[in-house]
Amino acid sequence: MKLQDRKVAIVGLGYVGLPLAIEFGKKYRVLGFDINPERVLELQRGEDSTLEADLVGMREATELYKKDLGIGLSFACYPEKLRDFNVFIVTVPTPIDEFNNPDLTPLLKASAMIGQVLKEGDVVIYESTVYPGCTEEDCVPVLEKFSGLKFNKDFFCGYSPERINPGDKINTLTTIKKITSGSTPEIANLVDELYSSIIKAGTHKAPSMKVAEAGKAIENAQRDMNISFMNELALIFDRIGIDTNDVIDAAGTKWNFLKYRPGLVGGHCISVDPYYLAHKAKALGYDPQVILSGRRVNNSIAQFIANKTLKLMIQAGHTIKSSNVLIMGITFKENCPDMRNTKVVDIYKELLEFGINVDIFDPWAKPENVKHEYDIDLLSKIDDEKSYQAVIVAVAHDDFKTFNFKKYKDSGAVIYDVKAFLDRELVDARL
């Protein structure tokens, strides 16, 4: 397959797929595909609710398509539109279920859909985070079943894990080095060449798809464990009566100390991917110790924050039942509308169990999405007349820097700063 003959279909137009579709659309004939018609209509209007897209770049890519130059980006939600393409890049979510086991349903459904339009010579590249071996052991059989074709004879696969950091406008798709791999040496070269054409930071060609899959899995597992260590320190230092961030600042004066900070660990990747690696380990007869212990610590932090706030409220003389608590922020990170797997919800639920009236305000989150996902009604604005006995700053949105926390402090409210980004004089405690 020659460079100019590549027609690329991106399956899934979320935080990962859309930036990919835009960049490829500047050089190749590209179809951005999503099963959600509303998402497709939104993109066709030149809008992006995730706020991840380079809208100027998206207009550029879609205009190229309209000029009928053989390149450019278009969008669709009908599977039959995929038939004209020969490279399929899968960027659908890979969540976990209620038991923290991998849920491959979106991935396998996407594979089945692609299998129905797969032709001889086609290449299917997976970007979704999985455990090592998933592409060949789980996805390929589905492709074979629905296509009637033979893997590595009639069609081929590649794996190139996404490295998107939602909300980050500096480390973007083209500026982050890309891991690539393929099911044969020839396909590995093709996949690497394809991504090299858009990734300014360059690529790293892994020796196998399993290596590429494992590389992605441990990226997030390592970060999860580093944060869990800091979270465990926060639990210890709270008992000692010293500030964790002060300790980190002191230790950080040594050149080789890694200055991770404690915090809530949510989002689609870091709080999920370690379970994929643990699942594979267990399937092979090894019970992972470090990975899962880190997960247990990080999953406990929301409850700790809620209970610490309650203790501070009692010490301040507040009655717990029917008191009012305001939580600032619900997204899983600052300056971003992404609220997937946010642990702020766990704080909310814990406080509700004590009979507390809990309000959440977040200018970045879409109220309808929060309602649909968590059945929580966000405040459209904060009622200046309403008194709160505690304010929990859960997310460090820039919008909150100008908020009048002093007003609530002066009225006797407890201020808990999860992210340690407010003036120390304003807060009663921080993680």
Angle at 22 between CA 18 and CA 25, to 5 degrees: 130
Whether 418 contacts 392, CB under 8 Å: yes
Q: Phi/psi at 19 (nearest 5 deg)?
A: -55, -35
CB proximity list for 38: less than 8 A, separation 6 or greater: none
Global confidence as pTM: 0.93
Amino acid at site 48: D
C-alpha count within 13 angstroms, C-beta hemisphere, residue 124? 33
Calculate the average pLDDT of the chain: 95
- Active-site residue, from 134, 139, 269, 336: 269
How many other CB atoms sit within 10 Å of the CB of residue 215? 16
Give the Cα separation of 12 and 94 in Å (integer): 12
- Nearest alpha carbon to residue 118 among 60, 78, 79: 79
For residue 361, the model assigns a pLDDT of 98
For residue 44, the model assigns a pLDDT of 95
Give the class (CATH, top level) of 232-430. Answer: alpha beta
C-alpha count within 13 angstroms, C-beta hemisphere, residue 84? 10
Query: Can you tell me the mean pLDDT for 19-44?
Result: 96
269 carries an active-site annotation: yes
CB proximity list for 232: less than 8 A, separation 6 or greater: 297
CB proximity list for 84: less than 8 A, separation 6 or greater: 7, 31
Give the Cα separation of 169 and 153 in Å (integer): 41
403 or 52, greater pLDDT = 403
For residue 3, the model assigns a pLDDT of 58
Above 70 in pLDDT, residue 1? Answer: no
Residues of the chain with CATH 3.40.50.720: 3-207, 232-430
For residue 267, the model assigns a pLDDT of 84
CATH 3.40.50.720 fits 3-207, yes or no: yes
Whether 67 contacts 60, CB under 8 Å: no
Least confident of 3-7, 159-163, 186-190, 340-344: 3-7
b/e per residue, 368-386, with b = 16+ CB within 10 A?
A: eebeeebebebeeebeeee
